[in-house]
Structure formats: structure tokens, C-alpha cells
Amino acid sequence: MTSSARLFSLEEIRSRLTAINPVVCVEEAFRAFSAGNAIVPAPGELIFDNPPGDVHIKYGYIGGGEFYVVKIASGFYENPRHGLPSSNGLMLAFERQTGALAAILDDRGHLTDIRTAAAGAVAAKYLAPAEVDTIGVIGTGMQAELQVKFLQTVRPCKNVLVWGRRKEGAEAYAEKMRQDGYSVTVAGSVEEVAERCRIIVTTTPSIVPHLHGAMIRKGTHITAMGADTPEKRELHADVFSAADMVVVDSRVQGSLRGDLKGALDAGTVDIGRVSELGQIIAGDAKARSGADQVTIASLTGLAVQDVAIASAVIAGDA
């Protein structure tokens, strides 16, 4: 039993993450969720217009785990113009047996960034083509960087084609990634990314879809992870008509927000043919099985990921 809560600074969290494999951590969290071994209520949400931003409150626990976790994470998308990170937040871990506050993880949104990028890698592990020659990226923020870096664990590829709404943002992204050893080209259009890349990651908070069905070539995998509120859209509903497989982190949560919601509302996909990533991990649903398949992973982010990554960081004391 904890007598007083432990405060983890961002620096200590970063240090502890070096001893953790976030991809494995998140993969097991998805498995637990789809097996019914996790309690994850609907997220709370605040949406702001001026300046644009949103705050998510996510919480839950995994059966047999030591903690339940409450996470507050924000995204304010004009912050980089003022020299501030777009993401912020913290996580609170409580003893599941007593309710006592066990740990405050002052991660400033970093753990959310890490577990989100890890989810993209998990999706690619089961859904992306076996051979990838260029990674297509829509967006230029933190996830645009981290998704590519985490993909290296499952689909190693140093060639990146990026498109951003602002060309200067895309150029800055390209230069930063080049310094980390990637070969990055700035695309002139979203269509160019779709034409040249068989794996595409969308990482924006857009409410206007970037990708349309007519753009998508056979054999393409798309991980769409930016649309995590009811009004956000990165994929037009007709992209789902072109898909052989549609996978989500949660059917329930995905049907209420983001790209899957848009497709369900438009009638371009039936919820009965949507699988959860955790089912595929467990072998209860099929992974990618053909080179020409078009696959979509529409991820809205689950509290079970936060529970898993927070618990792993705290367990560094064990």
C-alpha cells in the first residue's frame, strides 16, 4: 500500500521509457481490451474554437492490474507558432484495491504521444504490406515524426514522403527528420503521397478529409490516427468503400468519433465487417492476407493504452 503518491517528472519518465518496449506494451493492452479484460468508459472531452484545441479525459483499468489510471491530454494546434508544444497533460495512477493516489506522472503529453505512435506500429505489424519502400505521411507535427520512428520496429524504411498544409511546416519536418537519418521528400499534393506510397499515416486534427477513395491504389495500408473527436475527419467516407479490411482500436468508441463515424454515417461501411486490432492480435480475426488488399486502421486512442504505459513506467521501481 502506498503511503504517499510518487511524482514522476518528464525527465524521469523519459529515462524509464528507455527500458520499456512501448509497442509490446500497447499490443498487449489492445489484446486485453478486445478480450473483455479491461474497463474503459467513454472519454470526456472539451472542444475549443479560439484558439482551436481539444482536451481528452480518458480513464480505466486492466483486469488484474495494480492501478486504475486517469489521463488528461490536450492538443492546442496553434501553439507551435508561439514556440510551445501542441500537446500537454498528465496521468494519475491510483491503487485499484484502495483508491489511494499512487503516482502523478507529469509527462506533459509525452506518454500519450508515445503510446499513440506505438499503436501505429502495432497496426502496421498486422496490416501493412510486408515490403515498404516509402512511408507516406500526412501532417508535420509530433506524431508525423514519432509514427515514422516507431514504424522502424515493424517495417524498417528510411524513405519518407510528407505532405503538410503549410509548405514551410513540411520543409521544417523534412529537415528535422533528415538530421535523424531519414531520406525525406516534400510532396506537392496529397495525391502524390497516395500515388507513391503503399503505407500512409495521417496525423492531423483536420475536419476536412485529406484522402479520397479514388486516390487509393491497391495494396495500400492507411493508419489514420488524427481524427479522435466526433467532428474530425482525415479520410473521406468513400475511402472505406475501397477497403478490403477496416480495423479499429474499439468498435464502440470508433463508431462515435473520427473517420469510422463518418463512414458509418455515410453508409460506406458496415460495422459488422469492422474488426478490432486486439482481435487480430489474439488471432480471433484475420490480419492482412494479400498483397493487393487495401487496409485501414482507424485509431481514436484508448484509455487502456494509457493504463498500460503508465503502469510500465511506475513498475520501473519493481
Average pLDDT over residues 307-316: 96
% of the chain beyond a pLDDT of 90: 93
Q: Please say if the pLDDT value at position 311 is more than 70.
A: yes
Give me the half-sphere count of Cα atoms (radius 13 Å) on the Cβ side of residue 209: 18
Cβ atoms 120, 103 nearer than 8 A: no
**pLDDT, greater one: 2 or 216:** 216
Indicate the angle between helix axes 303-314 and 110-127, nearest 10 degrees.
110
**Confidence grade of residue 3 (pLDDT, cut at 50, 70, 90):** low
Question: Alpha-carbon dihedral of residues 149, 145, 114, 220, nearest 10 degrees?
Answer: -70
Domains of the chain plus CATH, in order, are: 6-111+304-317 (3.30.1780.10), 120-303 (3.40.50.720)
Q: Report the pLDDT value the prediction gives residue 317, as an integer from 0 to 100.
A: 56
Q: pLDDT by residue (tens digit) across 118-140? A: 999 999 999 999 999 999 999 99
Q: Which of 2-6, 55-59, 270-274 has the lowest mean pLDDT?
A: 2-6
Q: pLDDT by residue (tens digit) across 43-57? A: 999 999 999 999 999
Task: Return the bridge partners of 162, or none.
Answer: 137, 186
Q: pLDDT by residue (tens digit) across 187-206? A: 999 999 999 999 999 999 99
**Confidence grade of residue 150 (pLDDT, cut at 50, 70, 90):** very high
Nearest to 66 by CA among 41, 33, 93, 38: 93
Q: Report the pLDDT value the prediction gives residue 1, as an integer from 0 to 100.
A: 44
